[in-house]
C-alpha cells in the first residue's frame, strides 16, 4: 500500500471505531478480516497508527473542538499528522483524491490546518488536564480517587501499548520448556516481571503457532495471572468460577489444581462457555464443567445449582465492569463510557457478589475481581458486601506466590490486590479476598 492509501484505511477504520459499540481492537480485527488484501506490514502500520490516535484522543478532540470541527476520522487523522509534524505539502500530496487515497484537501481542511498552526505554543498551554491526559472530563473525580497526584503518570502509562502476555500451562510444560518451544518457532519471549507463569512476547501470530495449538501457553495479561495466583486453588478442591466467560481464569485455576477436584465454570453467556470448553480441551484440562446460569433477573435460563450451595471451597467472581483497567489495549473505550455506566456496573457487581457468596462453604474462600481502577467498583463494593454479610471477613492475601511476585496485599487487612499500569506495568486490576466464618 502507498502511504496515502494507509491513511485512507486509517480514516475509514477510525470512523468505524468511533461509531461502534465494540472495542477498537475487535473493530480493527473485523475490518482487516473483511479486507484480506491488506498485507501484514500495512496491517501493523494501520494498527499502530490507530493506537497512536487513541493515545492522543483527548488532545486531538480538544483542538478540533476549539476549531469547531467534528472529531471524525478525517479530522482526527489530519490533526494527528499535523501534531506529528507532517508538512502541509506532504498532506496536500497524500490527501490528493486519487484512487485509494483520501479525498483531496478542501477549504475546510485547509482552515483546520491553519487553525492547528495557531494552537501550538502558548495556546496549547490552555489545554485542560482531561485533554492532556486523555480522559473524558467527567472522569476526573473517579480517576483521582484512585491515582491522586499520580493521575498524569498513570494516564501516561495507559498510553503505552500492552505487550502480548502469555501464561504457561504447567499441565503441559515448564516456563523454560514453553519458551524454548516458542523460540524454535521464531517467537522470542522474555519472562514476565512478576507472574512466575508468565512470558512476554513481541508481536506474534500465535494462532499459527504449534506450541500454542498444543496448549503450552494461553494469552493472558499479567494482572489476570496474578489474580488467579491470588486465589491459590488447590488440587482436590471444589471451585466455582462464577463469571467464567471464555475462561481465562478458569484455565489458570484448573492448571493450579493439576486436574484434581472440580472447576465449575458459570456464565450467562453460552457462547463464551463454548469457547472455554475448546480452550480447556487444548490445555488438557479434565476437571472442568461449564454451566450456563440465568442472570438474577432472567427466568428463562437455568437457576443457580442448588447442589453447590454452601459447598464450594473457593468461589471467584470476576465480575463484568467498566474495563477501566484495560485502556492500554482499548484506548478508545474510555470515551464510550458514561458516569451512569459505572454506577450501573457497581450495582450489578454488588448483586453478583452477594449471589455467588451463597455457594461458599463455611471456612471457604471468596474472591472478587474487576479489571477496573475505579474505587466505586472495587473498595466500595467490598465495603458494602462486608457490611451486609457479617459471616464473611476479609482474608489477608498469603501464599508463596506473594513473596515470589514481590507484591503486598493492600487495605487495612492486606486482603486486596490493587494492580496499576504505572506501578506494576500490568492492566489495572482489583482483587479482594474474603473468608466465610
Ligand atoms: C470480566 S468477564 C469474565 C472474564 C473471565 N473470567 C476471564 O478470565 O476470561 C465477566 C463475565 O461475566 C459474565 N456475566 C455477566 N453477568 C453475569 C451474571 N449475572 N452471572 C454470571 N455471569 C455474568 C459475562 O458474560 C462475562 O463473561
Q: How far is CA 305 from CA 125, 177, 250, 254, 416, in A?
A: 59, 40, 18, 20, 28
CA angle 326–329–332, rounded 5-degree value: 90
* Spatial contact of 308 and 240, defined as CB atoms under 8 Å apart: yes
Kindly give the number of the ligand 1 atom that is closest to the alpha carbon of 241: 6
Asked, for residue 140, whether it belongs to a domain, the answer is no
In angstroms, what is the span from residue 261 Cα to ligand 1's centroid?
22
**Residue 371 annotated in active site:** yes
Asked, for residue 153, whether it belongs to a domain, the answer is no
* Total number of domains in the chain: 3
Is the pLDDT assigned to residue 272 strictly greater than 80?
Answer: yes
**Residues 265, 357: one domain?**
yes
In angstroms, what is the span from residue 330 Cα to ligand 1's centroid?
19
Q: Is 307 annotated as a binding residue?
A: no
- φ/ψ (deg, to 5) at 128: -75, 165
The C-alpha torsion from 156 through 161 and 167 to 173, rounded to 10°, is -130
The size of the chain, in residues, is 437
Residue from 226, 243, 278, 381 whose mutation best tests the ligand 1 pocket (most atoms within 8 A of CB):
243
In angstroms, what is the span from residue 249 Cα to ligand 1's centroid?
11
**Residues 33, 85: one domain?**
yes
CA angle 86–89–91, rounded 5-degree value: 55
> DSSP letter at 434?
E
Residue for grid cell 488440587: 235
Helix or strand or coil: residue 191? strand
Asked, for residue 274, whether it belongs to a domain, the answer is yes
- Around ligand 1, the residues with Cβ closer than 6 Å are 224, 242-249, 266-269, 272, 293, 295-296, 318, 320, 352
Residue from 230, 245, 292 whose mutation best tests the ligand 1 pocket (most atoms within 8 A of CB):
245
What's the pLDDT tens digit per position in 88-142?
A: 999 999 999 999 999 999 999 999 999 999 998 777 778 999 999 999 999 999 9
**Residues 204, 256: one domain?**
no
**Residues 209, 308: one domain?**
no
User: What CATH number corresponds to the domain at position 274?
Assistant: 3.40.50.150
Q: Is 297 annotated as a binding residue?
A: yes
Domain holding 211, by residue range, is 164-219
**Residues 215, 236: one domain?**
no
Categorize the per-residue pLDDT at 425 as very low, low, confident or very high, splitting at 50, 70 and 90: very high
**Residues 191, 250: one domain?**
no
Q: Which of 419, 390, 240 lies closest to 328, judged by CA?
A: 419
Asked, for residue 134, whether it belongs to a domain, the answer is no
What's the pLDDT tens digit per position in 301-322?
A: 566 888 899 999 999 999 999 9
- For all residues of the chain together, what is the average pLDDT? 94
In angstroms, what is the span from residue 272 Cα to ligand 1's centroid?
9
**Residues 102, 192: one domain?**
no
CA distance 132 to 117: 18
**Residues 329, 192: one domain?**
no
What's the pLDDT tens digit per position in 162-179?
A: 999 999 999 999 999 999
Amino acid at each position: 500500500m502507498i502511504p496515502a492509501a494507509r491513511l485512507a484505511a486509517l480514516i475509514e477504520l477510525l470512523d468505524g471505531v468511533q461509531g461502534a459499540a465494540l472495542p477498537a481492537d475487535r473493530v480493527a480485527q473485523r475490518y482487516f478480516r473483511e479486507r484480506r488484501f491488506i498485507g501484514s506490514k500495512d496491517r501493523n502500520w494501520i494498527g499502530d497508527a490507530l493506537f497512536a490516535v487513541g493515545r492522543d484522543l483527548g488532545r486531538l478532540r480538544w483542538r478540533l473542538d476549539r476549531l469547531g470541527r467534528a472529531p471524525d476520522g478525517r479530522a482526527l487523522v489530519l490533526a494527528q499528522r499535523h501534531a506529528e509534524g507532517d508538512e502541509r505539502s506532504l498532506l496536500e500530496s497524500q490527501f490528493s483524491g486519487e484512487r485509494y487515497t483520501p479525498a483531496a484537501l478542501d477549504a475546510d481542511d485547509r482552515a483546520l490546518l491553519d487553525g492547528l498552526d495557531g494552537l501550538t505554543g502558548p495556546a496549547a498551554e490552555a489545554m485542560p488536564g482531561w485533554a492532556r491526559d486523555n480522559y473524558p472530563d467527567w472522569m476526573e473525580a473517579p480517576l483521582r480517587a484512585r491515582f491522586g497526584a499520580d493521575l498524569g503518570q498513570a494516564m501516561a502509562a495507559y498510553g503505552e501499548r500492552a505487550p502480548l502476555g502469555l501464561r504457561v500451562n504447567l499441565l503441559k510444560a515448564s516456563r523454560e520448556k514453553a519458551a524454548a518451544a516458542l523460540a524454535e518457532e521464531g517467537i522470542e519471549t522474555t519472562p514476565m516481571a512478576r507472574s512466575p507463569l508468565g512470558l512476554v512476547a513481541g508481536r506474534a501470530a500465535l494462532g499459527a503457532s504449534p506450541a500454542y495449538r498444543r496448549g503450552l501457553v494461553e494469552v493472558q495479561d499479567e494482572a489476570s495471572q496474578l489474580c488467579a495466583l491470588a486465589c491459590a486453588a488447590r488440587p482436590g478442591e471444589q471451585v466455582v468460577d462464577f463469571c467464567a466467560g471464555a475462561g481465562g481464569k478458569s484455565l489458570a485455576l484448573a492448571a493450579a489444581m493439576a486436574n484434581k477436584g472440580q472447576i465449575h465454570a458459570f456464565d450467562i453467556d453460552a457462547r463464551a462457555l463454548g469457547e472455554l470448553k475448546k480452550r480447556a480441551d487444548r490445555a488438557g484440562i479434565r476437571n472442568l464443567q461449564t454451566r450456563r446460569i440465568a442472570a438474577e433477573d432472567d427466568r428463562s435460563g437455568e437457576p443457580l445449582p442448588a447442589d453447590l450451595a454452601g459447598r464450594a471451597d473457593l468461589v471467584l467472581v470476576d465480575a463484568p465492569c467498566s474495563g477501566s483497567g484495560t485502556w492500554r489495549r482499548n484506548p478508545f473505550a474510555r470515551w464510550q463510557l458514561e458516569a451512569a455506566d459505572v454506577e450501573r456496573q457497581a450495582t450489578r457487581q454488588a448483586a453478583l457478589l452477594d449471589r455467588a457468596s451463597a455457594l461458599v462453604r463455611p471456612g471457604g474462600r471468596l474472591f472478587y475481581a474487576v479489571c477496573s481502577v475505579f474505587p466505586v467498583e472495587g473498595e466500595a463494593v467490598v465495603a458494602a458486601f462486608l457490611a451486609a454479610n457479617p459471616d464473611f471477613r476479609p482474608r489477608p492475601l498469603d501464599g508463596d506466590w506473594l513473596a515470589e511476585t514481590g507484591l503486598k496485599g493492600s487495605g487495612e487487612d492486606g486482603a486486596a490486590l490493587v494492580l496499576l499500569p504505572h506501578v506494576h506495568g500490568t492492566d489495572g486490576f482489583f482483587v479482594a479476598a474474603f473468608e466465610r466464618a
